[in-house]
Amino acid sequence: MGFRLSKIYTRTGDQGETGLGDGRRVPKDHPRVEAIGEVDSLNSQLGVLLAGLAEQPALAALVEVLGPCQHRLFDLGGELAMPAYEALNDAEVARLEALIDEWNDEVGPLENFIMPGGSALIAQAHVCRSLARTAERRCQQLNAIEPLRPVSLAYINRLSDLLFVAARIIARRQGVAEILWAPAPPPHP
């Protein structure tokens, strides 16, 4: 990819369209642009999580694991912006699955629903997880009209799972109890 931005504003989008990497112009609310935007939002929030993790030496190992995910999200954005571009591969999905399995072994089985919270980092991991689910839905909406590569869809799905387990790992390594869901009491007759 040899594209470089020499000028940030172009004025070409002022009428509600944007350009894709393949030269097509589409409305800014096109499903492809929506998917790109949600992947970008996730990537930004993942950056917030990584910055917070980097401030805590006990959680530095998570930066090494989640840091590459930011780059792969940028790759996914590239695939969305340039439909012929292929960056993600099955090895990346397998890497996430191996990490999920490893972290699940560390935290043990989930016995109840957990709430986002307990610490700012735990909550931020859940923000990232929920944004990954939104990005996945937008990618699936696009896939229904313009098929995407299965590996791209699998990657964003696994990433949301990884971020859920990351929240649990953060709680464990911070020594913070997970906040368990407390269902509403049954209504009185």
DSSP per residue over 79-130, as a string? HHHSTT-----HHHHHHHHHHHHHHHHHH----S-EES-SSHHHHHHHHHHH
pLDDT digits (tens, 9 = 90+) for 33-53: 899 999 999 999 999 999 999
Dist. CA 125–CA 49, nearest whole Å: 6
What is the CA 166 to chain-centroid distance, rounded? 12
Q: What domains lie within the chain, and their CATH numbers? A: 27-179 (1.20.1200.10)
Q: Which of 70, 71, 86 is nearest to 150 (CA)?
A: 86
What is the CA 3 to chain-centroid distance, rounded? 24
pLDDT tier at 188, thresholds 50, 70, 90: confident
| Entry pTM | 0.88
